[in-house]
Amino acid sequence: MEKKTPGRTRIIGLRLTMEEYRRLEAKRQKSTCRKLSDYVRKILFDKPVTTLYRNQSLDEMMAEASRLRSELNSLAGNFNQAVKKLHGLHQIGESGDWLAAYESERQLLLGKVEEIKNHIQKMAQQWLSHP
């Protein structure tokens, strides 16, 4: 048979300044508590509060890697379209225009690849320098 636990029936009113409330809410957001009442209850009754830890430099590197991935996807699509167009060319004169466009796309792609290599190198150096 299930043991029935009594619900919470008592309310405690607490007034805070806006700054106090912002600080409390900021701390709650860094925890795993979804509700402010759960967070306050844990603090009041000396229960452990699990906090989240974010590595800001790693977050920034991941955002940069995500941006580079989007740019590479765009360049890959352009490159794929250029190759399809090359297969459809019927006259030699058209290929000269395509080659000029291809070279431009190729340079962009190589530049992004180099940027990614440098970014990965920085991430590796930072990761290796941590104790």
Distance (Å, rounded) from C-alpha 46 to C-alpha 123?
A: 39
Residue 16 has what pLDDT? 93
What's the DSSP call for residue 7?
A: P
Q: List the chain residues with pLDDT less than 50.
A: none
Domains along the chain with CATH numbers: 15-53 (no CATH), 56-129 (1.10.287)
Distance (Å, rounded) from C-alpha 116 to C-alpha 65?
A: 8
Residue 116 has what pLDDT? 82
- Distance set, CA 108 to CA 39, 42, 104, 105 (Å): 50, 54, 6, 5
Residue 128 has what pLDDT? 65
State the angle between helix axes of 36-44 and 18-29 in degrees (0 to 180), rounded to the nearest 10. 90
For 84, counting Cβ atoms within 10 Å of its Cβ (0-12 exposed, 13-18 middle, 19+ buried), the class is exposed
Distance (Å, rounded) from C-alpha 75 to C-alpha 107?
A: 11
